[in-house]
A and B are shown apart, each in its own frame.
Chain A
Amino acid sequence: MNQQIEINNTRTISDEDVLFIALELGEHILRCGGEINRAEDTITRICRAYGAKHVDVTAILSMIVLTVHFNDSRSTCTRRITSSTATNLDKLSKINELSRSICAELPDKKTVEAKMAEISRTSIITKKRLIFGSILAALGFALFFSDFSQGITASLMLRVLLDSVLSGVLAIPLCLISVRMDKHRLNPMVSKFAVCFLSGISALVLGRLIPLCNPNIIMIGNIMNFIPGVAVTNAFRDLFGGDIMSGLFRLCSVIIDAIIIAAGYAVAILLFGGAV
């Protein structure tokens, strides 16, 4: 386990550290929205770059099991991935760049840790960005899913724009509540249900207060912010990429998410007597 591998005759790194570096990157790839395939591939490449003769890696969303055969030793390590974080595509891209540089430069554990800390510290996802993004997504998709089948008239456009703006405005408190709930580590299922319920109630109240607006469209605009689009895409990519277990795992989580979202809105609509 503690055997030292000589890299470029100038630096030494233990087997344990190689496994740590590979697992650290693999874990972060999974946690910020990467596919299983990518995590396994990155881990394999890093271990091979550090001189591994054979690499066996199996990853699922909650765990990575890695066995690496070096010249005359074998190390196995398991990493349990306890908490999932929100999708962060910028971080995923930076980790991908880091894995390339690790394979080329073969740095030591401390350097990799420092670089990982820097990537986490310089995350571009801020509260302002989240709120602005949620407004745009709700506004855009309320307009996107509006019904234009009866023809496009000035009065229809006015109503559609009103629905879109209301949907965008409603996204602000919903996003803030969602962020606050995440901060307090509330059960993700409960917080999703609560936010969807609040979204439904608010849209229905707006529908009663402003008879011109269509609460259905306001709700649809906001639903898009909760629908697990990333998980669905990754589930199918994993499933048909050969990672059946992870694909099914993601698919189950997507179905449960969809049921919870639907239940949140359904309870709100039922409280209003089923009329929208």
Chain B
Amino acid sequence: MKTEILRISIVLVAGILGSIGFALVFGVGKKHFIAAIISSVISCLAFEIVYLLCDSLFTASFVGAGLSAAYSDIMSQKAKTPATLFIIIGIIPLVPGAKLYYTMLGIVRDDVALFSQNGEAALLIAAGIAVGIITVTAVSKPIKAKISEINAKNHKAKE
């Protein structure tokens, strides 16, 4: 357990460093910088904890991406800025870069096991991320519409 906690801590620090790098490259402004990095901390931590508990790449990436997308939606409403800004930085640590690399290596080396294991894992993670984002977007859209409807009604009532 101690080793796992240590591993998750190292991965989290590494994920934060990588996300800071991407936030700089993609031009996230000072105003939203910390909020964007928190989005990646949420996805990274959720992925690691869920993967530790249920050993499923799909579920872990689904929960990670979903929580990050939900946080991004809330932050975008608060900061009145596009949710894309937080989602993109939040999703970065979930992108299966290593799995894609080893899939390619499997093809180059003609190693079917290396190719299929990593290819499958990369697809599962990508599917998890996609479903996570879509689920949150699908749920948040009607909620946002309802909130703006209530706000408009309140505004009219005040007038």
Stretch binding the partner chain, chosen from B55-63, B90-98, B142-150, B151-159:
B90-98
Contacts of A144 in B (CB 8 A): 11, 14-15, 18, 93
For window 80-126 of B, CB contacts with A under 8 Å fall at: 80-82, 84-85, 87-88, 91-93, 95, 97-98, 100-105, 107-109, 126
Our pick among A33, A132, A135, A143 for the contact of B26 (Cβ within 8 Å) is A33
Whether B17 lies near A100 (C-beta < 8 A) is: no
Residues of A within 8 A of B129 (CB): 232-233, 236
- In the complex, what distance in Å separates the CA atom of A173 from the CA atom of B25? 15
The distance in angstroms between the C-alpha atoms of A262 and B104, with both chains bound, is: 6
A134: chain B residues at CB < 8 Å are: 21, 25
Q: Is A6 an interface residue (CB 8 A)?
A: no
Assess whether A216 is in contact with B91, with CB atoms less than 8 Å apart.
no
Which of B17, B32, B102 has the most CB atoms of chain A within a 10 A radius of its CB? Answer: B17
Interface bin, chain B:
35 or more
Whether the Cβ atoms of A219 and B85 lie closer than 8 Å is no
Interface string of A102-138 (1 = CB under 8 A from B): 0000000000000000000001110001101111111
Q: Chain A contacts of B102 at CB under 8 A?
A: 216
Chain B positions 3 through 26: 1 when the CB is less than 8 Å from some CB of chain A, otherwise 0? 100110011011111111111111
Q: Say if the beta carbon of B130 comes within 8 Å of chain A.
A: yes
Say whether B133 faces chain A, with CB atoms less than 8 Å apart. Answer: yes
Q: Note all chain B residues with C-beta closer than 8 A to A276.
A: 105
Complex: A115 Cα to B124 Cα, angstroms: 44
Interfacial residues, chain A to chain B (CB-CB below 8 A): 33-35, 38, 87-93, 96-97, 100, 123-125, 129-130, 132-141, 143-146, 148, 151-152, 164, 216, 219-220, 223-225, 227, 229-230, 232-234, 236-237, 240-241, 258, 262, 265-266, 269-270, 274, 276
Q: In residues 46-92 of chain B, which contact A (Cβ within 8 Å)? A: 80-82, 84-85, 87-88, 91-92
Count A-B contacts at CB 8 Å: 170
CB atoms of B18 and A137 under 8 A apart: yes
B interface majority secondary structure? helix
Find chain B residues with CB under 8 A from A223 CB.
97, 100-101
Known contacts being A89-B84, A266-B104, A269-B105, is A124 close to B14, with CB within 8 Å? Answer: no
Interface pairs A-B: 5 shortest CB-CB: A137-B21, A140-B18, A133-B24, A136-B21, A140-B17
* A143 to B16 alpha-carbon distance, docked (Å): 11
B32 touches A93 (CB 8 A): yes
B28 within 8 A of A: yes
Contacts of B28 in A (CB 8 A): 89-90
For the complex, is B134 an interface residue (Cβ under 8 Å from A)?
A: yes
Known: A93-B85, A151-B3. A100 touches B80 (CB 8 A): yes
Task: Please tell me if the beta carbons of B10 and A148 are within 8 angstroms of each other in the complex.
Answer: yes
Q: Report 10 cross-chain contacts, Cβ distance below 8 Å, ordered by A residue.
A: A92-B85, A96-B81, A123-B27, A124-B27, A140-B15, A152-B3, A216-B105, A232-B129, A233-B84, A266-B108
Task: Indicate if the CB atoms of A152 and B29 lie closer than 8 Å.
Answer: no
A220-B97 contact in complex given A144-B15, A151-B3, A232-B126, C-beta closer than 8 Å: yes
